[in-house]
Amino acid sequence: MCYLIVTIRSLLWTVVSIGIVVMHVFAIINPDWLLRDDRPLTAAYASTTPNEDVSSQNATTESSLRPDSDILITQSSKVGLLTLCTERYSMNTLRYVTNNGEQSRAEECAWIASFFELPIWLWMVTVVLYCLGVAILGFIAVVSVFTMCFKSICKKSLFTVSGLIQAIAGLLILLGLVMYPAGWGSDAVTELCGMDAAPFQFGACSLGWAFYVAAAATFLTFACAVLSVQAEIATSSDDVQDEILKGKYVICLP
Domain spans, the chain: 4-34+118-253, 38-111
Instruction: Give the pLDDT score at 198.
Output: 85
Work out the pLDDT band at 101, boundaries 50, 70, 90: very low
- Residue 141: exposed, middle, or buried by beta-carbon count in 10 A (0-12, 13-18, 19+)? buried
User: What is the Cα gyration radius of the chain?
Assistant: 27
Contact 104, 91 (CB under 8 A): yes
Across-strand partners of 103?
91
Beta bridge partners of 105: 89
143: which residues sit within 8 A by CB, 6+ positions away? 158, 162
Under DSSP, is residue 5 helix (H, G, I), strand (E, B) or coil? strand
Q: What dotted CATH number matches 4-34+118-253?
A: 1.20.140
Helix (H) or strand (E) holding 42: helix 41-48
Q: Please, what's the b/e burial string for 175-211 (b: 16 or more CB within 10 A of its CB; e: otherwise)? A: ebbebbbebbbbebbbbbbeeebeeeebbebeebebb
Residues facing 225 on adjacent strands: none
Beta strands 4-7; 250-253: pairing state: parallel
- Residue 162: partners with Cβ closer than 8 Å, 6 or more residues away: 17, 140, 143, 144, 147, 228
> Stretch 157-177: mean pLDDT, rounded?
92
The predicted pLDDT at position 238 comes to 63
Tell me the average pLDDT of the chain.
75
DSSP state of 236: T
Residue 71: closest CA among 86, 55, 53, 49: 49
How do residues 26-80 score in pLDDT, each as one tens digit?
999 888 888 877 654 444 444 444 444 434 444 444 444 444 445 555 566 778 8
* pTM across the whole model: 0.74
Nearest partner of 88 among 31, 38, 41, judged by Cα = 41
Q: pLDDT (tens digit, 9 = 90+) per residue, 204-222?
A: 888 888 999 999 999 999 9
